[in-house]
Amino acid sequence: MEGKDYYAHATAVIDEGCEIGKGTKIWHFSHIMPNSKIGENCNIGQNVVISPDVILGRNVKVQNNVSIYTGVICEDDVFLGPSMVFTNVINPRSSINRKNQYLKTTVKKGASIGANATIVCGIDIGKFAFIGAGAVVTKSVPDYALVMGNPARQSGWMSEYGQKLLFDKNGVANCSESKETYHLKNGVVVKV
């Protein structure tokens, strides 16, 4: 179906009460549930579920088969890789309703989450952080951090262009692609 300012494939289901930004594209068999807010110029791949009250910023790229559950907020320019998933209850049981215990998860501006990663609820993924494919993230991730594995552990730092940063003895690194400079001090990375 053609929306006023966005495109949705005929097989997509968009519930009442959603806000969908101009230029956004929603592809085959995806379901956008009530009161979701999707920013401008997002791309929602095939077979994606966006649960009630989820918030996606501008230019968020959601690849195929992703589940984004209530409690998740993705800021601008976030990338969610194929088949990655968020949780929203820390101790789910089929016979116990815990809808009042959904935990908030925030993915900050520019972060990328790799294919098949799992993000356990109640944490923050920092700005421009990079979550490796298949990682199981159980705790908050700092800005610009590279984390991999199960459970995910930090193995380095990434630039805003997605290039690994190699810091010298003075805590200075340059992105190999953009040539931008970053400083590392006391476990915190900032772009100069």
Q: Which residues pair with 131 in a beta bridge?
A: 113, 147
pLDDT of residue 60: 98
Question: Which tens digits make up the pLDDT trace of 12-26?
Answer: 999 999 999 999 999
Q: In angstroms, rounded to a whole number, what is the distance separating the alpha carbons of residues 72 and 43? A: 17
- Out of 3.30.70.20, 1.10.10.10, 1.10.3980.10, 2.160.10.10, which CATH number does the structure's domain 7-163 have? 2.160.10.10
For 120, 176, 182, 183, the CA distances from 179, given in Å and listed in that order, are: 34, 6, 10, 13
pLDDT of residue 108: 98
Determine whether 82 is exposed, middle or buried from the number of CB atoms within 10 Å of its CB (0-12, 13-18, 19+): middle
Q: What is the mean pLDDT of the chain?
A: 96
Amino acid, single-letter form, for residue 169: K
pTM of the model: 0.96
Question: Which tens digits make up the pLDDT trace of 51-91?
Answer: 999 999 999 999 999 999 999 999 999 999 999 999 999 99
pLDDT of residue 82: 98
Q: What is the rounded average pLDDT of the residues 156-182?
A: 98
| 111: pLDDT strictly greater than 60 | yes
pLDDT of residue 113: 98
DSSP 44: E
pLDDT of residue 1: 41
pLDDT of residue 107: 98
- In the chain, the percentage of residues whose pLDDT exceeds 90 is 97
pLDDT of residue 4: 75
